[in-house]
């Protein structure tokens, strides 16, 4: 009877947590979708009015609202690409570069446990290189973009992302050792009079804590 | 029996409601201030500014992996989620103490919609996690008080340890907690065996600080202070480099003013609810809790007033106080409701209903009055600020940055969004974007590092000036510019230009057209830091317009800068200098007056008064002002040098030589000043 009641109570709680989770995820998706839609529409109207830099701003914002199954992100990328091509045709090489850079930055900012828009990033890198090589100019008259030798000297720092696999291992280890420590306290120390039970339970929880702690440390080193 | 599911549903509904409100007001991208740095640190599993905030970074990384919006938005979401969880815990605390559903909703929502608390939910910050721990620790202490079990004491110690992995401000709860524990169960707590075990759990949680050296060693993109040696580790964890210079470093009048301001902030958050909180305090069942809550408030104020000098508008202080007041107000309301129920006579039902309606109305008033202030859903200022800087720099250019509001959004856009990877970025303090040979720099002691770093930076400027070296710094004297080079305002940045270098006029004039400024110029309520960025934008634009013939528009922009940055430290000084240079002395005088009101560095303001008077031809007042600057800051060589020049102009050569000698004695590396002294001492002068 007692077990049945516990199960029922546990199931109810699980259902509540699941329900809250679903509502939160849905509200997040709605927020991103609505944000992208609103910015995309504003961008389109600016593009129609030939206010291209404003259009870039709002397409860029729409792209930053990335979420799975959000059509406005891809459509914004296509519009930005179109603006870049048009700007090159019009001789506005700075705008051409800015539009392409926006696509690239937006996809980089959308990375999670997967990286959306990888093809776009490659395409943008190629186009940025092309624009830089053909139209890049210095702020000073007569100046030109400096040779590769000097650029090598500048040693532009590339920031590597932590390894995803090891990041997940690290997080599992972290929450593993925190929760197993809490479990140890809860199950082993709650009734300190029953010494035999303490040792029996500690024999289980202490290695679990050590294992998780070790996994966490390993994750931090390898990520 | 039926009460429990109902209360669970009500608490869940409160949590969801608060979260959805926060979601609608959260900033959609990187925020100004620490947000960019903290976001980039979480994303790269790196180390932000002291005390390193390992738990923040570790939890933040999970939020970075949610595929919704940009990474900046996800980290802002973390603040919204943690703050909602804090509200949920406060709800639970009030219910456990009062068994009143209405009082629990009242207290929780009052906290949720107070301005200071709500503003913390819009951007990535460490305070939401801190408030979460404060609420959780109070809840655990209530639980322990109910059963006095050893396990709950150990759990409490472990959670305290975890909270120290986020913000050391938790230490301010120590007096309250220690008093409560010892007073409640002296034998149980002070027993050596118990004490040892409790300490073990506390230290076990604290051991997670091993994150700092391990992630530094693993090559995390951000590793402030390189905490992979014991010395650096301690400096970061203790925050010694961050704090030592401002603890108790002010006058009595300063502390009195700060106390008044801090009290005013708390009262303005709660106004009438303060009365219910006071009522709740009086109705607390025993004096232990009264002393416990009082100590939390007292030490929270102590921290705000004496241990910190950050402008109260910038950082969220008094958050633990707000939590305590919310709990007490919930208890107060439940007591008031009980009293109303007890009222006898025909009006009893009416009184009870009116009280209930007031309970519902007050959080609604909080919500309505604070929504516009806290709604940062249109705030792209941090992003635009950084974006515009990168759009200014020419291909393969170099960008030097300084100041939190300049660097931190840039750390986000560069590390996460990989913005303009053809541009080399350096920060003047060499913390994130380091100059070449920085490995050598980290090994040097502080004094030699302080001389080596400017030299290396100067070399970089000299080497790459022909391809465009840009500065994004508030103080142009913050970096040493090589001889025969000067600074030119270029968009929102400064450009280093050497002799014989001629600007591409077309490019120079077109910079502004490529800026994204919808948010900077946007019509929503901005906080201090956002106003600083916006004011600086208006200042640079106004300066550009003035220098390029658009006098009327330029002056309008500058007036906007002054208005937007009304309590900003630097903007009034900058405006005063600009107005002095172009000869609009009445406006210059107004700006200097404002600078004196808001600028902490009054010596710098007096020095600028000196410049203003000298330009106006009033040499006597110029001397007086700069003398005042020297008196206020006797270590700044620039003030002695300015005083020397003005004394020479006045014909007081002997005193000028003395002053210049004093300047040289402070910094012997001043060839130009030595030359002047030699010239006048050998009698070749005037």
Question: Per residue in B171-220, pLDDT tens?
Answer: 999 999 999 999 999 988 889 989 999 999 999 999 999 999 999 999 89
pLDDT, mean of residues B562-567:
93
Cβ–Cβ below 8 Å for B23 and A145: no
Answer whether B162 touches A (CB < 8 Å).
yes
pLDDT band at A204 (very low <50, low <70, confident <90, very high): confident
**Mutating which of B39, B69, B133, B415 best tests the A interface, going by the most A Cβ atoms within 10 A?**
B69
Cβ–Cβ below 8 Å for A53 and B418: no
Cβ–Cβ below 8 Å for B413 and A105: yes
Chain A residue with CA closest to B379: the answer is A61
The DSSP code sequence of B227-281 is TTSHHHHHHHHHTHHHHTTTTT-S-HHHHHHHHHHHHHHHHHHHTTHHHHHHHHH
Output the pTM of the full model.
0.91
SS3 B538: helix
Cβ–Cβ below 8 Å for A186 and B12: no
Highest-pLDDT range among A199-213, B9-23, B348-362: B9-23
Please give the pLDDT value at position A5.
Answer: 55
Encode pLDDT of B609-652 as tens digits.
999 999 999 999 999 999 999 999 998 998 999 999 999 988 88
Please give the pLDDT value at position A157.
Answer: 61
- Closest CB from B9, B214, B508 relative to A217: B214
SS3 B647: helix
Number of helices (H) and strands (E) in chain B: give both, helices first: 33, 5
Cβ–Cβ below 8 Å for B214 and A151: no
Answer whether A201 touches B (CB < 8 Å).
no
Q: End-to-end distance of chain A based on CA atoms, in angstroms?
A: 48
pLDDT surpasses 80 at B261: yes
CB under 8 A, 24+ apart: contacts of B357-365 = B359/B102, B359/B103, B359/B105, B359/B106, B359/B333, B360/B102, B360/B106, B362/B106, B362/B110, B362/B272, B362/B273, B363/B105, B363/B106, B363/B109, B363/B110, B363/B112, B363/B113
Answer whether A82 touches B (CB < 8 Å).
no
pLDDT surpasses 80 at A191: no
| Lowest mean pLDDT, pick from B179-193, B429-443, B458-472 | B429-443
pLDDT surpasses 70 at B684: no
C-alpha pair distances (Å), B659 with each of B608, B620, B634, B662, B672:
18, 16, 11, 5, 14
Length of chain B measured in residues: 686
CB under 8 A, 24+ apart: contacts of B93-99 = B93/B135, B93/B138, B93/B139, B93/B142, B93/B327, B93/B330, B94/B326, B94/B327, B94/B330, B94/B331, B94/B334, B95/B7, B95/B11, B96/B139, B96/B142, B97/B142, B97/B327, B97/B330, B97/B331, B98/B330, B98/B331, B98/B334, B98/B335, B99/B334
The DSSP code sequence of B328-347 is HHHHHHHHHHHHHHH--STT
pLDDT, mean of residues B641-668:
90
Please give the pLDDT value at position A1.
Answer: 45
Burial class (CB in 10 A: 0-12, 13-18, 19+), A26: exposed
Whose tokens are 């035999």? That residue is: A196
CB of B206 closer than 8 Å to CB of B161: yes
pLDDT, mean of residues A70-79:
97
Chain B residue with CA closest to A94: the answer is B514
Cβ–Cβ below 8 Å for A138 and B211: no
Cβ–Cβ below 8 Å for A156 and B215: no
CB of B558 closer than 8 Å to CB of B542: yes
Answer whether B149 touches A (CB < 8 Å).
yes
Please give the pLDDT value at position B13.
Answer: 93
User: Is residue B400 within a helix (H) or strand (E), and if so which, with residue range?
Assistant: strand B398-401
| Lowest mean pLDDT, pick from A35-44, B146-155, B445-454 | B445-454
| Lowest mean pLDDT, pick from A143-157, A201-215, B44-58 | A143-157
pLDDT surpasses 60 at B143: yes
Whose tokens are 């840039």? That residue is: B410
Give contacts of A23 with chain B, Cβ < 8 Å: 16
**Mutating which of A140, A167, A223 best tests the B interface, going by the most B Cβ atoms within 10 A?**
A140
Give contacts of B423 with chain A, Cβ < 8 Å: 156
Please give the pLDDT value at position B243.
Answer: 60
Encode pLDDT of B345-394 as tens digits.
667 778 788 888 888 899 999 999 999 999 999 999 999 999 999 999 99
Answer whether A32 touches B (CB < 8 Å).
yes
Q: How far apart are CA B199 and CA B144, in angstroms?
A: 17
Between these two residues, A158 and B36, which has the higher pLDDT value? B36
Between these two residues, B682 and B266, which has the higher pLDDT value? B266
């Amino acid at each position: 009877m007692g077990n049945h009641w516990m199960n029922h109570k546990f199931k109810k709680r699980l259902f509540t947590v699941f329900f809250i989770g679903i509502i939160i995820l849905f509200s997040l998706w709605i927020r991103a979708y609505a944000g992208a839609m609103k910015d995309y529409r504003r961008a389109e109207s600016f593009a129609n009015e030939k206010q291209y830099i404003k259009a870039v701003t709002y397409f860029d914002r729409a792209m930053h609202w990335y979420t799975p199954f959000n059509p406005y992100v891809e459509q914004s990328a296509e519009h930005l690409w179109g603006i870049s091509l048009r700007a090159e045709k019009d001789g506005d090489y700075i705008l051409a570069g800015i539009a392409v850079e926006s696509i690239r930055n937006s996809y980089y900012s959308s990375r999670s446990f997967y990286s959306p828009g990888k093809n776009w990033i490659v395409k943008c890198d190629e186009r940025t290189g092309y624009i830089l090589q053909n139209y890049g100019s210095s702020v000073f008259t007569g100046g030109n973009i400096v040779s590769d030798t000097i650029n090598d000297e500048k040693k532009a720092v590339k920031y590597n992302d932590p390894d995803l696999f090891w990041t997940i291992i690290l997080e599992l280890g972290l929450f593993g050792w925190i929760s197993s420590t809490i479990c140890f306290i809860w199950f082993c120390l709650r009734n300190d009079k029953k010494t035999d039970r303490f040792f029996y339970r500690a024999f289980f929880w202490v290695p679990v804590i050590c294992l998780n702690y070790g996994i966490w440390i390993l994750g931090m080193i390898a990520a | 029996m039926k009460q429990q599911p109902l209360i669970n549903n009500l608490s869940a509904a409160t949590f969801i409601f608060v979260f959805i409100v926060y979601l609608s007001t959260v900033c959609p991208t990187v925020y100004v201030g620490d947000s960019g740095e903290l976001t980039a640190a979480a994303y790269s599993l790196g180390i932000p500014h002291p005390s390193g905030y390992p738990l923040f970074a570790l939890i933040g990384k999970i939020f970075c992996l949610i595929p919704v919006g940009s990474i900046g938005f996800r980290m802002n979401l973390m603040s919204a989620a943690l703050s909602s969880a804090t509200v949920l815990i406060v709800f639970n605390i009030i219910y456990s103490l009062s068994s009143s559903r209405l009082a629990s909703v009242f207290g929780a929502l009052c906290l949720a919609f107070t301005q200071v608390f709500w503003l913390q939910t819009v951007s990535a910050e460490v305070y939401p996690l801190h408030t979460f721990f404060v609420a959780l620790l109070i809840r655990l202490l209530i639980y322990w008080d109910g059963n006095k079990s050893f396990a709950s004491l150990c759990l409490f110690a472990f959670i305290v340890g975890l909270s120290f992995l986020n913000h050391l401000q938790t230490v301010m709860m120590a007096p309250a907690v220690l008093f409560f524990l010892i007073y409640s169960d002296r034998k149980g707590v002070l027993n050596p065996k118990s004490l040892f075990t409790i300490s073990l759990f506390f230290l076990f949680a604290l051991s997670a600080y091993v994150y700092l050296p391990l992630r530094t060693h693993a090559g995390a993109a951000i590793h402030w202070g390189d905490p992979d040696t014991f010395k650096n580790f301690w400096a970061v964890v203790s925050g010694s480099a961050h704090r030592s210079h401002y603890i108790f470093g002010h006058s009595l009048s300063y502390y009195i003013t700060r106390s008044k301001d801090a009290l005013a902030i708390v009262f303005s958050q709660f106004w009438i609810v303060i009365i219910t909180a006071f009522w709740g305090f009086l109705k607390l069942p025993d004096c232990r809790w009264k002393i416990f809550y009082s100590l939390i408030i007292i030490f929270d104020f102590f921290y705000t007033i004496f241990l910190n000098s950050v402008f109260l508008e910038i950082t969220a202080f008094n958050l633990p106080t707000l939590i305590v007041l919310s709990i007490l107000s919930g208890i107060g309301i439940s007591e008031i409701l009980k009293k109303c129920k007890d009222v006898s006579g025909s009006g009893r039902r009416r009184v009870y209903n009116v009280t209930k309606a007031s309970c519902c109305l007050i959080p609604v008033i909080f919500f309505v009055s604070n929504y516009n202030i806290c709604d940062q859903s249109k705030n792209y200022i941090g992003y635009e600020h950084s974006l515009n800087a990168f759009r200014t720099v020419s291909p393969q250019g170099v960008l030097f940055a300084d100041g939190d509001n300049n660097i931190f959004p840039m750390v986000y856009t560069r590390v996460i969004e990989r913005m303009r990877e053809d541009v080399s970025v350096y920060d003047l303090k060499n913390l994130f974007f380091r100059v070449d040979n920085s490995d050598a720099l980290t090994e040097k002691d502080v004094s030699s590092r302080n001389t080596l770093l400017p030299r290396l930076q100067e070399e970089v400027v000299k080497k790459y000036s022909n391809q465009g070296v840009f500065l994004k710094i508030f103080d142009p004297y913050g970096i040493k510019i090589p001889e025969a080079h000067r600074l030119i305002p270029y968009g929102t940045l400064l450009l280093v230009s050497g002799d014989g270098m001629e600007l591409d006029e077309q490019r120079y004039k077109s910079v502004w057209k490529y800026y994204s400024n919808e948010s900077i110029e946007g019509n929503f309520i901005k906080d201090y830091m956002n106003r600083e960025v916006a004011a600086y934008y208006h200042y640079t634009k106004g300066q550009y317009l003035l220098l390029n013939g658009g006098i009327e528009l330029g002056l309008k922009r500058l007036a906007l800068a002054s208005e937007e940055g009304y309590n900003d430290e630097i903007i009034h000084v900058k405006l005063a200098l600009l107005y002095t240079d172009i000869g609009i002395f009445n406006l210059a005088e107004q700006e200097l007056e404002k600078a004196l009101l808001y600028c902490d560095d009054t010596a710098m303001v007096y020095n600028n008064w000196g410049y203003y008077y000298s330009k106006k031809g009033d040499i006597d007042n110029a001397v007086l002002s700069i003398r005042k600057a020297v008196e206020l800051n006797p270590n700044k060589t620039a003030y002695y040098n300015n005083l020397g020049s003005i004394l020479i102009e006045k014909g007081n050569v002997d005193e000028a030589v003395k002053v210049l000698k004093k300047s040289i004695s402070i910094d012997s590396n001043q060839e130009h000043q030595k030359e002047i002294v030699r010239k006048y001492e050998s009698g070749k002068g005037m």
